[in-house]
Amino acid sequence: MILAIDQGTTGTTCLVVDDELRILGRGYAELPQIFPRPGWVEHDPEQIWRSVLDAAGRALDGVDRTQLTAIGITNQRETTVLWERATGRPVHNAIVWQDRRTAERCGELPAELIRAKTGLVPDPYFSATKLEWLLRELPAKGLAFGTVDSWLVWKLTGGRVHVTDETNASRTLLASLDTLDWDDELLDLFAVPRDVLPEIRPSGSDFGEGELLGATLPIRGIAGDQQAALFAAGGAKATYGTGSFILVETEEEPGGGVLRTAAARLEGEEPRRALEGAVFVTGAAIQWLRDGLGLLGDAAESEALAASLDDNGGVYFVPALAGLGSPHWAPGARGTITGLTGGTTRAHIVRAALEAAAYQTRDVLEAMPPLDLLRADGGMTRNRWLMQFQADLLGIPVETAREPEQTALGAALLALAERRPSPAGEIFEPQHRDAERLYAGWREALRRTV
């Protein structure tokens, strides 16, 4: 049995999983958010650790702990933690991936150099400018940096092991995607001394012995959350949540607007890489219709409302409520609803919000190698109307995951040192319901927005 730790932005989920990926125990603990100033987002690193202890305790309640064989970890990526090596005491709150305090600095950075070395773009989303800010504000010696995975391994091993995996390292702007090692030119650019950095290992490796709630277990798998979900999916996936992340494992260079990143690999395998697109608003659009406009009493109503219409009535909703991410990268874009007439109902607007999730996924996949099948996970996959529309729009089958917690299952598979897809749920075959005409309408609505 594997204890899979999924440390996320708003909480920690722990699963006890057997070698058939059956879930034998489950626990969750919330993580408080800290907002010191507008645009600043932080976590207390000790609260992160306590959330892991709480969630693990609940997952292990009633489980025979002597049957546990390893720990797997997946984590919110890019979030930056800095602590004292001698004491293990954090010197500042963790700066979360959502934090925008270094936006001005990112505008000064050499975008072409960063893209060539890391596959990424200069953005406060990534770790390097957060770490640069911390080292400038809190100059000290004997410090250790890590993303959340490194912090958890440090705590689990009592400070004996300072490591990260290739997927998390690839999200820092400090590692070369070609060498999968820290890059001296990037370290100089951000004034980061090499001695604060963790050792980089493949995702399915030995990360030391951890002690958790009285059990001593090897830590055998680590990956950032999206790469863990990709590992569980088997090579291509779209995660539909508040926003959406679309990843395809490939060595091909990206088309316009998508990023290149490390993919999880087992020890002994050749390095693996993926293309990634980040869509900022998908499920959040449904939440806004529910909470902001009162058009829905519950998000689950959206499926029946969309299915009640024979057509979208020419109504399109571009949900640029926080700008547009991949592949458009238009931070100044604002949400737009087009095609309104006297016959437009709330069902049309709700359907337009669901369609937008599918359109944005296709926008990203247009910049990636063609797929034969898309694996889908996340909360919005419960909406069968959306999954069918996505299959129609892409012209390929869409397969949902049986278990929504794909990030944790990916961590478990890494700890098991097994490369195989997690159990599938339902398959939606394309039915070609006028998809190209509808997609052309979306592209026109985008043109009016960007």
Q: 234-449 domain in CATH 1.20.140.10?
A: no
H or E segment and range at residue 239 = strand 236-240
Residue 411 confidence (pLDDT) above 80 = yes
Rounded to 5 degrees, φ, ψ at 24 are: -105, -15
Nearby residues of 195 by Cβ (< 8 Å), 6 or more positions away: none
* Domain boundaries of the chain, sorted by first residue: 2-224, 234-449
Nearby residues of 347 by Cβ (< 8 Å), 6 or more positions away: 305, 306, 308, 309
Q: Would you state the CATH architecture of domain 2-224?
A: 2-Layer Sandwich (3.30)
Question: pTM for the whole thing?
Answer: 0.87
Identical fold, 2-224 and 234-449:
yes
Give the C-alpha separation, 106 to 125, whole Å: 10
Q: 2: how many CB neighbours lie within 10 A of its CB? A: 27
**Predicted local confidence at residue 432, as pLDDT:** 76
For the chain, give the mean pLDDT.
Answer: 92
Helix (H, G, I), strand (E, B) or coil at 174: coil
**Predicted local confidence at residue 121, as pLDDT:** 86
pLDDT digits (tens, 9 = 90+) for 399-408: 999 887 889 9
Q: 160: how many CB neighbours lie within 10 A of its CB? A: 11
**Residue type at position 209:** E
pLDDT digits (tens, 9 = 90+) for 186-242: 999 999 999 999 999 999 999 999 998 888 999 999 999 999 999 999 889 999 988
Higher pLDDT, 331 or 202: 202
**Residue type at position 354:** L
CA distances from 47 to 39, 71, 74, 130, 374 (A): 21, 20, 17, 20, 36
Q: How confident is the model at residue 255 (pLDDT cuts 50, 70, 90)?
A: confident
pLDDT digits (tens, 9 = 90+) for 277-310: 989 889 889 999 999 999 999 889 999 999 999 9
Q: Give percent of the chain above pLDDT 70.
A: 100
CB-count burial class (<10 Å; 0-12, 13-18, 19+) for 300: exposed
Q: Give percent of the chain above pLDDT 90.
A: 75
**Predicted local confidence at residue 65, as pLDDT:** 87
Residue 256 confidence (pLDDT) above 90 = no
277-280-285 Cα angle (round to 5):
135
Nearby residues of 223 by Cβ (< 8 Å), 6 or more positions away: 73, 74, 165, 167, 168, 203, 231, 264, 410, 411, 414
Give the C-alpha separation, 42 to 225, whole Å: 18
Can you state the angle between helices 346-365 and 384-394, rounded to 10 degrees? 50
Beta bridge partners of 29: 12
pLDDT digits (tens, 9 = 90+) for 21-51: 999 999 999 988 889 988 888 999 999 999 9
**Predicted local confidence at residue 417, as pLDDT:** 95
Higher pLDDT, 333 or 84: 84
